Structure 1
Amino acid sequence: MAHEPAGPEKSAMSSDDDAAQHRAARRRRLDSVFGDDLPELTSDDSDQHHTGRSKDWFEAQRPPHYE
């Protein structure tokens, strides 16, 4: 037979459950607005730039005083 906590222990557990439900509901609302899918690799992480030039090209164009 399962024993349910009584008194303050029970209210502490229910407030933890309420907080968890609140966090889950908030997460669902945020995901519905912003989405929850993030790309594995962003353009900042890759060597490809929006200009079509490679990282090697940009490094070759560096002025001598940057060496």
Structure 2
Amino acid sequence: MPKQEFFVDMTCEGCSGAVVRVLNKLGGVQYDIDLPNKKVVIESEHSVDTLLTTLKKTGKDAQYLGTK
């Protein structure tokens, strides 16, 4: 499965917790959250658009950075 890297404007554990919640609801994803660098790497068969839309549901600024 491809690994996609995203920037998410997370400033605290609560922010990263919101990311965890929306990704778990989406299902079929494995992810690694790098809070200090505000990055989320997601391994999934979902499209980049679906993943980005899901991350934006946290209310945080989210941007696609590319394939890892």
- Global fold match (TM > 0.5): no
In our comparison, the structure showing a higher alpha carbon Rg is 1
More helix as a share of residues: 1
Bigger relative contact order, structure 1 or 2 (CA pairs below 8 A, ≥6 apart): 2
TM-score (norm 1): 0.24
TM-score, normalising length: structure 2: 0.24
Greater percentage in strand: 2
